[in-house]
C-alpha cells in the first residue's frame, strides 16, 4: 500500500453539514474541546462556518487514512486544532504518530467549507474557497505584483478571472505560510486558470515551488496549492 496517497480534497455544503449532524449528532462529529470552541462563538454564521470547516477537514483525513490503511477513524476520534500561526493540524485518538505524517488546510465561506489533507512528504498544502461572484479587477490589483499586472494587460494571452487569481493567491499563501503572510508576496505564473505556478518573493524558486490548481465546483470556486 502506498505511503503517499493522493491529496484528499473535500467540499461540504450547508446541506451536507446539516445531514451529517442530524445523523451523528454534534457529539458524534466534534470532540469535547471542539464543542467548547463551537459553543463560545457568539455569532451563528461564524459557528456554521467553523463547524463546516471542521467537518470538511475530518472527512479529508478519514478518506486519506482509509486509502492508506483500509479503515477510517470516527469523526469524534479526530480533533482539529490550530498552531500558533493559525495553520490547522489534527490528532487522532491513540495515534500520536499520525500528526506529523500529514498536512491539512481548511477554508470556508457562507456555511460551506473545503479541506485538503496530504502526506507531509508531498509538502505543505493550502486551500481557498469562495462563492462564485463577480469580482472587480481593481480589488485584485491591490495584491498583484507588477509582473502579474503586465501579464493581465497583454491581450495575447488568456487570463484567469479576478476571483480565480484571488483564490489562487490565498491558497498559495496558506501553503507557504511558514515563509509568507501577505498576498502581495505571492507571484503567480499561469497558462490558463486551471493550473498555475506560484513563488514567494524573497525565497528561492527551487526551494519553495508552489503548484496551484483551480476548479469551479457548482456555485463555488476552489484553489488548492501544494508547496514543495
Distance separating alpha carbons of residues 206 and 50, to the nearest angstrom: 35
Which pLDDT tens digit goes with each residue over 93-114? 988 888 888 999 999 999 999 9
Distance separating alpha carbons of residues 70 and 210, to the nearest angstrom: 30
Q: Which cell is 115 given?
A: 479541506
Burial of 159 (0-12, 13-18, 19+ CB in 10 A): middle
**Helix, coil or strand: residue 177:** coil
User: What is the per-residue pLDDT for 1?
Assistant: 38
User: What is the per-residue pLDDT for 51?
Assistant: 97
Confidence class of residue 2 from pLDDT cuts 50, 70 and 90? Answer: very low
User: What is the per-residue pLDDT for 85?
Assistant: 80
User: What is the per-residue pLDDT for 42?
Assistant: 95
Distance separating alpha carbons of residues 202 and 188, to the nearest angstrom: 14
One-character DSSP codes across 117-172: EEEGGG-EEEEEEEE-----HHHHHTT--HHHHHHHT-TTS----HHHHHHHHHHH
**177 has pLDDT over 70:** yes
Please report the domains of the chain, with CATH numbers, ordered by start residue.
Answer: 8-120 (3.90.470.20), 128-227 (3.90.470.20)
* CA distance to 23, 55, 213, per residue, from 17 (Å): 10, 7, 25
- Rounded to the nearest integer, the mean pLDDT of the chain is 90
Could you list the beta-strand ranges (E) of the chain.
8-12, 78-82, 88-92, 102-109, 112-119, 124-131, 186-190, 195-200, 210-217, 220-227
Segment of 71-80, 180-189, 194-203 carrying the highest mean pLDDT: 71-80
Which pLDDT tens digit goes with each residue over 17-71? 999 999 999 999 999 999 999 999 999 999 999 999 999 999 999 998 898 888 8
Query: What is the pTM assigned to this prediction?
Result: 0.90
User: What is the per-residue pLDDT for 156?
Assistant: 65
**Helix, coil or strand: residue 216:** strand
What number is the average pLDDT over the span 173-180?
A: 91
What number is the average pLDDT over the span 192-206?
A: 80
Q: Determine the Cα angle at 10 with ends 177 and 160, to 5°.
A: 65
Q: What share of the chain is helix, strand, coil (3-state, %, to 5)?
A: 40, 30, 30
Confidence class of residue 218 from pLDDT cuts 50, 70 and 90? Answer: very high
Q: Which cell is 136 given?
A: 472587480
Query: 124 forms bridges with which residues in the sheet?
Result: 227
Amino acid at each position: 500500500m502506498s505511503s503517499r496517497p493522493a491529496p484528499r480534497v473535500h467540499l461540504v455544503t450547508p446541506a451536507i453539514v446539516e445531514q451529517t449532524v442530524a445523523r451523528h449528532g454534534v457529539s458524534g462529529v466534534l470532540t469535547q474541546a471542539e464543542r467548547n470552541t463551537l459553543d463560545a462563538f457568539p455569532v451563528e454564521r461564524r459557528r456554521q462556518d467553523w463547524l463546516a470547516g471542521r467537518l470538511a477537514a475530518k472527512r479529508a483525513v478519514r478518506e486519506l487514512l482509509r486509502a492508506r490503511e483500509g479503515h477510517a477513524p470516527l469523526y469524534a476520534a479526530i480533533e482539529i486544532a490550530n498552531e500558533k500561526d493559525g495553520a490547522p493540524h489534527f490528532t487522532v485518538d491513540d495515534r500520536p504518530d499520525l500528526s506529523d505524517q500529514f498536512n491539512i488546510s481548511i477554508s470556508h465561506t457562507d456555511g460551506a467549507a473545503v479541506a485538503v489533507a496530504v502526506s507531509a512528504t508531498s509538502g505543505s498544502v493550502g486551500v481557498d474557497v469562495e462563492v462564485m461572484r463577480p469580482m472587480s479587477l481593481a480589488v485584485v490589483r491591490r495584491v498583484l505584483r507588477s509582473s502579474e499586472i503586465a501579464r493581465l494587460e497583454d491581450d495575447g494571452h488568456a487570463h484567469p478571472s479576478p476571483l480565480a487569481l484571488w483564490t489562487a493567491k490565498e491558497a498559495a499563501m496558506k501553503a507557504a505560510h511558514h515563509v509568507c503572510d501577505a498576498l502581495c508576496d505571492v507571484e503567480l505564473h499561469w497558462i490558463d486558470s486551471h493550473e498555475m505556478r506560484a513563488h514567494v518573493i524573497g525565497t528561492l524558486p527551487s526551494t519553495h515551488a508552489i503548484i496551484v490548481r483551480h476548479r469551479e465546483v457548482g456555485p463555488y470556486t476552489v484553489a488548492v496549492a501544494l508547496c514543495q
